[in-house]
Structure 1
């Protein structure tokens, strides 16, 4: 199946739209996390994580989860969520059975779950993928 892929700007818009679906209590706090949407995972991240194939990484949370943060932590930068367009598009094409917006939502929610320290039950209340 040959489906056209959105450009990077459109893909980023889809990822940012996911934030509007978060429960209000989380939506405001999510604004404190940088959302970075790029085509491919940077080489330094792949090396740090010992990942050989960049298609194996669709998203990444980089920071200290809220459930582990302390007032004594000295942040080196803002918490960030990376979303990788090309690996997500490859999975979407390979699967052929899911809408791209649903797959993007799944990856974005999963990465925010790392930030908020959400359980699987918490994730399932937002992202039906987990049911």
Structure 2
């Protein structure tokens, strides 16, 4: 029997946002309050301005981004610049999910969300990779 995929829809922006909110809710209690202070924004792709600023030529190359001042660098002298934000990019996430073929979509969204949240806490990519070798 062949599974009929015609009535199925790809997860939308709100579906990805719901998965990220579930990942936030599952965080250890010590991290949850700070995580709820970070805005969540889900878009199909990163805006061109972000891609240009980061010198990324392929929009599928960016699944998420932390935009803000890490907690380790915040100062009472900082001028407000807007809320710290975690961006998740739906189409690159779905593309990576399809390419991997061995991970649940919710797990991938949670991974990207937690990776970006780690930047909010002041972790570098190298520090994150040392404890989370996701690519393996």
Shorter-chain TM-score above 0.5:
yes
Distance in 1 separating the partners of 2:52 and 2:128: 28
Distance in 2 separating the partners of 1:25 and 1:39: 31
Confirm whether residue 27 of structure 1 aligns to residue 32 of structure 2. yes
Aligned length: 127
TM-score when normalising by structure 2: 0.84
TM-score when normalising by structure 1: 0.87
Q: Which runs of 4+ in 1 moved over 4 A?
A: 127-131
When the two chains are superposed, the root-mean-square deviation of aligned CA atoms in Å is 2.3
Confirm whether residue 100 of structure 1 aligns to residue 118 of structure 2. no
What is the aligned partner in structure 1 of residue 114 from structure 2?
A: 109
Larger Rg: 2
8 A contact 1:64–1:79 mirrored in 2 = yes
What is the aligned partner in structure 2 of residue 16 from structure 1?
A: 21
* Deviation of the 1:120 alpha carbon: 3.5
Structure 2 residue runs without a partner (length 5+): none
Q: Deviations over 1:2-33 (max 9, x none)?
A: 89521221121111111011111210111111
Classify the secondary structure of the residue corresponding to 1:60.
strand
8 A contact 2:68–2:84 mirrored in 1 = yes
Instruction: Classify 1:20/1:129 alpha carbon distance in 2 versus 1 (closer, same or farther; 3 Å).
Output: farther
Structure 1 residue runs without a partner (length 5+): none
Distance in 1 separating the partners of 2:74 and 2:30: 18
Classify the secondary structure of the residue corresponding to 1:83.
strand
Q: Which of 87, 95, 112 pairs up with 1:90?
A: 95
8 A contact 1:36–1:81 mirrored in 2 = yes
What is the aligned partner in structure 1 of residue 81 from structure 2?
A: 76
What is the aligned partner in structure 2 of residue 41 from structure 1?
A: 46
